[in-house]
């Protein structure tokens, strides 16, 4: 998707919902070059932790 977006002329891409307590997913997105640009508080109802935030991840392509 990153390569396709870059080739299609997109200047950036955004992923809107990475659960903040999912440290493996957050690490993966960061390894792919995304950064957290915001967190929506209490946007996800975690089975054991209750309401937790969702990170909005963003990556510049140019």
- The pLDDT value recorded for residue 4 is 97
Structure tokens belonging to residue 55: 């990170």
Domain with residue 39: its CATH number is: 3.40.630.30
**Alpha-carbon distance 55 to 19, whole Å?**
6
Model confidence pLDDT, tens digit, residues 1-26: 999 999 999 999 999 999 999 999 99
Q: Which residues contact 58 (CB under 8 A, 6 or more apart)?
A: 12, 13, 14, 15, 34, 35, 37
- The pLDDT value recorded for residue 55 is 98
The whole domain housing 26 covers 2-60
Q: How many domains does the chain have?
A: 1
Nearest to residue 55, comparing CAs of 29, 11, 7?
29
Model confidence pLDDT, tens digit, residues 34-50: 999 999 999 999 999 99
Report the DSSP beta bridge partners of residue 38: 56
């Amino acid at each position: 998707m990153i390569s396709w977006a870059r080739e299609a002329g997109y200047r950036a891409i955004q992923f809107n919902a990475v659960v903040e307590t999912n440290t493996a997913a957050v690490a993966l997105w960061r390894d792919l070059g995304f950064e957290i640009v915001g967190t929506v508080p209490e946007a996800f109802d975690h089975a054991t932790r209750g309401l937790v935030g969702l990170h909005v991840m963003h990556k510049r392509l140019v």
